[in-house]
């Protein structure tokens, strides 16, 4: 007789039943969640005021800082806040992208400046320019990020320095130079962009995983420190249609797969979905907000079945185009 006390990871039949149950639970929960969001969205649209967002913070005239605003999630977020009437303080390392953004923002642009977020002096100068134009930021979106793909053995220390300088120190710089004045005013919201790979430690992206786990942990700790006056939310997107792979660095076997991975990411959800999630989080103030079904499901699995989640590593690599 089969021992039903065996764990799902040891018995293949029990594991299949276990996984089927989890999938059914996730499907029901996802359906309930989307229905709830739809109901709330309909209700909020019926009573929203000009310059406010879904019954939350009134955004007209608010000062919003967005790093890495020249493309992808940063650009979509800057434009989304501008449409709500906010004044945008945007930075990016690519001047042509900034010029294009500034043209789209028009009179909603308060400060637009070329900045390397990894550079302490440049971030200090950016913050000083923002604080010369406004008493403090109302919202800070630490979005700037890059990708390094490859195994730990294939990743150089130079690549580690480059990635951690932007993905982690950039977030720390953004908080260091903007949060103190938010604390003085006892109001504001900080959004730090982590990732699905800040929740699930996929292989062969060791450096990226390390940076995004660090951002998630930093955000949760900072949230506890600054509560209740200043809110902090970690945003964890899944696969998003951005240029992060095209602009990133790959090592080892992944070098030959860069074009395939770039094409695969074009099938991701649009960056505007992340911007929408950030706007929604202004009202709900979650500690962690996932974006996309893949990120949402993996976040659930980390709580329900962490051992089973480890088995999906190869499937996740195939989704991102990092494996056959």
Judge whether 183 lies within some domain. yes
Count of structural domains, the chain? 1
Judge whether 245 lies within some domain. yes
DSSP for 14-74, please give it: HHHHHHHHHHHHHHHHHHHHHHHHHHHHHHHHHH--TTB-TTS-B-TT-EEEEESTTSHHH
pLDDT of residue 184: 98
Judge whether 307 lies within some domain. no
Q: For this structure, is 208 an active site residue?
A: yes
Judge whether 33 lies within some domain. no
Judge whether 41 lies within some domain. no
Q: What is the mean pLDDT of residues 8-14?
A: 48
Judge whether 19 lies within some domain. no
For the stretch 23-80, pLDDT in tens is: 555 555 555 554 554 444 433 333 233 344 544 679 999 999 999 999 999 999 999 9
CATH number at residue 125: 3.40.50.720
pLDDT of residue 195: 96
Residue 269 has pLDDT above 70, yes or no: yes
pLDDT of residue 45: 34
Per the DSSP assignment, residues forming a β-bridge with 131 are: none
d(CA 123, CA 98): 16
Q: Give the model's confidence band at 20: pLDDT under 50 very low, under 70 low, under 90 confident, else very high.
A: low
* Active-site option among 126, 191, 200, 208: 208
pLDDT of residue 158: 98
Judge whether 152 lies within some domain. yes
Q: Give percent of the chain above pLDDT 90.
A: 63
Residue 89: domain span: 51-293
Q: Which 3 state secondary structure label does DSSP give 289?
A: strand
Residue 81 has pLDDT above 90, yes or no: yes
Judge whether 2 lies within some domain. no
Q: What is the pTM of this model?
A: 0.80
For the stretch 211-256, pLDDT in tens is: 999 999 999 999 999 999 999 999 999 989 898 888 999 988 887 7
pLDDT of residue 308: 59
Q: Which helix (H) or strand (E) holds 89?
A: strand 87-92
């Amino acid at each position: 007789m089969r021992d039903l006390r065996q764990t799902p990871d040891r018995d293949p039949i029990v594991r299949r039943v276990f996984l089927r149950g989890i999938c059914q639970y996730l499907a029901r929960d996802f359906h309930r969640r989307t229905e709830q969001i739809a109901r709330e969205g309909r209700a909020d649209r019926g009573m929203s005021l000009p310059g406010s967002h879904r019954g939350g913070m009134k955004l007209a005239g608010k000062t919003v800082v967005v790093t890495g605003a020249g493309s992808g999630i940063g650009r979509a977020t800057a434009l989304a806040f501008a449409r709500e009437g906010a004044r945008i303080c945007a930075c990016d390392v690519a001047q042509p992208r900034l010029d294009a953004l500034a043209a789209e923002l028009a009179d909603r642009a308060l400060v637009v400046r070329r900045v390397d977020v990894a550079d302490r002096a440049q971030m200090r100068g950016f913050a000083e320019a923002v604080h010369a134009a406004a008493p403090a930021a109302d919202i800070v979106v630490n979005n700037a990020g890059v990708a390094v793909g490859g195994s730990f053995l294939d990743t150089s220390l130079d690549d580690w320095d480059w990635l951690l300088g932007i993905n982690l120190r950039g977030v720390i710089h953004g908080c260091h130079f903007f949060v103190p004045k938010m604390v003085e005013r006892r109001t504001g919201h900080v959004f730090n962009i982590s990732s699905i790979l800040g929740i699930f430690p996929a292989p062969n992206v060791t450096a990226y995983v390390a940076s995004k786990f660090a951002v998630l942990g930093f955000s949760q700790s900072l949230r506890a420190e600054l509560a209740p006056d200043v809110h902090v939310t970690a945003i964890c997107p899944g696969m998003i249609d951005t240029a992060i792979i095209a602009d990133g660095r790959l090592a080892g076997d992944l070098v030959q797969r860069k074009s395939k991975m770039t094409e695969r990411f074009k099938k991701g959800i649009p960056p505007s979905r992340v911007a929408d999630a950030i706007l929604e989080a202004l009202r709900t103030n979650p500690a962690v907000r996932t974006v996309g079904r893949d990120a949402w499901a993996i976040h659930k699995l980390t709580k329900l079945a962490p051992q089973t989640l480890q088995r999906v590593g190869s499937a996740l690599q195939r989704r991102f185009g990092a494996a056959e």
